[in-house]
Amino acid sequence: MKIKKAVFPSAGLGTRFLPATKAIPKEMLPLVDKPLIQYCVEEAHASGIEEIVFITGRGKRAIEDHFDISFELETTLREKKKTAILNKIRHISEDLTYIYTRQKKALGLGHAVLCAKNIINNEPFAVFLGDDIIDAKVPAMKQMIKVFTKYQTSILAVQRVPKKHTHMYGIIKGKKVADGLYKVEDVVEKPEKNPPSNLAIIGRYILTPEIFTQLEKNKKGSGGEYQLTDAIKGLLKTQAVYAYEFEGERFDAGDKVGFLKANIHMGLKNKETAVELRKFIKRLF
Ligand code: G1P
């Protein structure tokens, strides 16, 4: 089975970035010159995904406009012969199909994914959490699809985190089956004490459609919300789930410091900004 669809839960209120996110979705905050969400959409595209399913909410229309063709803007750029910029804005909308549905109440990540049930139908699919920006030689989702192709079951992206941070993540207990690959035995969402390991779930998942049965049975969990991690725990009773330690650098762009680090990292990689930015940073120390 090929992974063709990716779900992007994007209904969060972005409270950690207020007041910047009062009138702008947090997904649209820029890393250098591209909105956060575009990095993940490009990763999906580079991994062979064909359809992007955004789970949005109120105040998220800018996302829809961003991935649409902007006729006026394109005409103006063409007239002014600004071909390079024109190509930059065109390529994101051309090869992918975008589908939007709304999560009417902010009831948690599990509930957001469940909102995609009728769009996904009966096929395995990817989930991208837009806060997690991963810079990798081989796109993280492409690495995961390779693992999926072999095991044909749900795959979670994981990364080791310091023990003191385990309370911020879904944490797995797993049995190592190969280099960087674990058969998941248990998962706990944001354990307050006794985390089963320091292998944290990062915002990339490949899930089989059986997850929807679990999401429908789901009860409120951590933070009083319907958690995807709890549904994955249910999935463990019916199928093997693997956790894959992807190669690449991950930034938590949902956090202020993580967002700034991601901006510096991308700024130092960007041809237009790298030289001046490096000079500036050197001058600071
Ligand atoms: C979500 C998931 C959590 C995961 C994390 C990765 O939490 O619920 O299991 O480890 O994303 O970024 P959130 O950061 O949305 O609170």
Q: In the predicted model, what is the mean pLDDT of residues 193-204?
A: 97
Q: In the predicted model, what is the mean pLDDT of residues 120-136?
A: 96
Structurally, the chain folds into a number of domains equal to 1
Q: In the predicted model, what is the mean pLDDT of residues 16-42?
A: 95
Q: In the predicted model, what is the mean pLDDT of residues 205-216?
A: 97
Q: Is the CB of 171 under 6 A from ligand 1?
A: no
Q: Is the CB of 170 under 6 A from ligand 1?
A: yes
Are the C-beta atoms of residues 129 and 204 closer than 8 Å to each other?
A: yes
Q: Who has greater pLDDT, 81 or 276?
A: 276
Q: What is the pLDDT of residue 95?
A: 84
Torsion (CA) 246, 252, 254, 258 in degrees, nearest 10: -160
d(CA 169, ligand 1 centre) in Å = 5
Range list of β-strands (E), the chain: 5-9, 30-31, 34-35, 51-56, 97-102, 125-128, 132-135, 155-160, 170-178, 181-189, 199-207, 242-245, 249-252
* CA separation for the pair 154, 172 (Å, rounded): 14
**Which amino acid belongs to residue 100?**
Y
Is the pLDDT reported for residue 94 higher than 80?
A: no
**Closest ligand 1 atom number to CA of residue 227:** 8
Q: Is the CB of 9 under 6 A from ligand 1?
A: no
pLDDT over 70 percentage in the chain: 99
Is the pLDDT reported for residue 12 higher than 90?
A: no
DSSP string, 24-67: S-GGG-EETTEEHHHHHHHHHHHTT--EEEEEE-TT-HHHHHHT
| 234 Cβ neighbours under 8 A, 6+ residues apart | 214, 217, 218
Q: Who has greater pLDDT, 78 or 187?
A: 187
Q: Is the CB of 251 under 6 A from ligand 1?
A: no
* Cα–Cα–Cα angle for 93, 264, 59, rounded to 5 degrees: 45
Tokens 């975008």, located at residue = 98
* Residue bearing the CA closest to ligand 1, atom 11: 203
* Residue bearing the CA closest to ligand 1, atom 15: 109
- Domain span at residue 273 reads 5-284
Q: What is the pLDDT of residue 93?
A: 64
Mutate to test the pocket of ligand 1, among 8, 13, 103, 169 (most ligand atoms within 8 A of CB): 169
**CA proximity to 181, closest of 139, 137, 151:** 151
Grade residue 141 by pLDDT with cuts at 50, 70 and 90: very high
Are the C-beta atoms of residues 190 and 170 closer than 8 Å to each other?
A: yes
* Residue bearing the CA closest to ligand 1, atom 10: 169
Q: What is the pLDDT of residue 71?
A: 83
Is the pLDDT reported for residue 91 higher than 70?
A: no
Grade residue 88 by pLDDT with cuts at 50, 70 and 90: confident
Q: In the predicted model, what is the mean pLDDT of residues 15-28?
A: 94
φ, ψ dihedrals at 148, nearest 5°: -60, -40
pLDDT tens, position by position, 254-283: 999 999 999 999 999 999 999 999 999 999
* CA separation for the pair 239, 271 (Å, rounded): 46
| Mean pLDDT, the chain, integer | 94
**Which amino acid belongs to residue 145?**
I
CATH of the domain at 106: 3.90.550.10
Grade residue 60 by pLDDT with cuts at 50, 70 and 90: very high
Q: Is the CB of 182 under 6 A from ligand 1?
A: no
pTM of the model: 0.95
Tokens 């949902």, located at residue = 254
CA torsion sign, 113 to 207 to 180 to 189?
positive
- Alpha helices by DSSP H, listed for 182-255, are 211-217, 228-235
**CA proximity to 155, closest of 172, 134, 167:** 172
Q: Is the CB of 229 under 6 A from ligand 1?
A: yes
